[in-house]
Amino acid sequence: MRKIGFSTGALALSNFELAIQYMKDAPLQFDAVEISALRVHELAPLIAWLERVDFCLPFGSVVIHAPSVMNTKEELEVADLLHKVHERQLPIVLHADAYHNAAIWRQFDDGLLIENMDKRKPGGRTADELDIVFDELPDAALCFDIGHARQIDPTMIEASEILKRHGQRLKQIHLSEVTCGSKHVPLSYTSIVAVRSIAQLIPIDIPIILEAQVEPTQMLSEVQRAEEALNAFSETDAQWRNAIHGRVVA
């Protein structure tokens, strides 16, 4: 069974504590969480919270998402704060277009997970553009956002190329449907079919982070859709039903 969880930003925007509570209270067993600080001012409170709580709780995989927009001064401050995360051996997701000075980020080695971008961004969207990023950050790992890749190329050829060329760096998957307006929404049937075309390129032990903005009552449905897409089982397949059943807490 794959490790699956949610981004806190998908469940409660900037209120990561509430999002984690939603995951703890859900009748599901989550194996992963990504705690998001997508805005610079959200990072310091997140770090302070990490230092005073047993942040892992029931989650086997815990990742921190760095701010998505920073100026050069903020970049230094953010990197300094994230050293506390790195010291605790928690991976850090960074948007491929968010950094200015690569030297600042090389010190995080493979604890830094570069995320491929959507169509709004000027780079980091394709395998070729990721080549440039990884030339600057040669030890960094990859957080592969399937929805971003599908938005760039609905045929999934580019998604396949990213995984074939950079798959040895893969440490986390972001999964949702990404609209033309770059919104993260629940998986549709067409996106499930698209994900199935590359599912065999994603090792079973790679954590899956769901990014669709959903209500707590919709969490199980989105997990079901993700399992159906990534395990390439039909809805009537006994293995697929058993995988979902194994997540539901009686």
Say which CATH number the domain at 189 has: 3.20.20.150
Looking at the domain assignment, is residue 48 inside a domain? yes
- Residue 249 structure tokens: 């807490």
Residue 94, classed as helix, strand or coil, is strand
Residue 170 covered by a domain: yes
Assess if residue 250 is contained within a domain.
no
Domain contains 190: yes
162-193 pLDDT per residue, tens: 999 999 999 999 999 999 999 999 999 999 99
Q: Radius of gyration (Cα) for the chain, nearest Å?
A: 17
The answer to whether residue 223 sits within a structural domain is yes
Domain assignment of residue 114, yes or no: yes
Helices (H), ranges, 61-152: 72-87, 102-106, 127-136, 146-152
Which structural domain, as residue segments, surrounds residue 49?
4-245
What's the confidence (pLDDT) of residue 236?
Answer: 43
Strand 184-185 and strand 177-178: the pairing is: antiparallel
Is 29 domain-assigned? yes
Question: How many other C-beta atoms lie within 10 A of the C-beta of residue 232?
Answer: 16
**pLDDT band at residue 235 under the 50/70/90 scheme:** very low
How many structural domains comprise the chain?
Answer: 1
* In-domain check, residue 215: yes
Distance, in Å, from the CA atom of 68 to the CA atom of 63, rounded to the nearest integer, reads 15
Whether the model clears a pTM of 0.85, i.e. scores above it, the answer is yes
pLDDT digit string (tens) for 91-146? 999 999 999 999 999 999 999 999 999 999 999 999 999 999 999 999 999 999 99
| List of residues 6+ apart from 135 with CB closer than 8 A | none
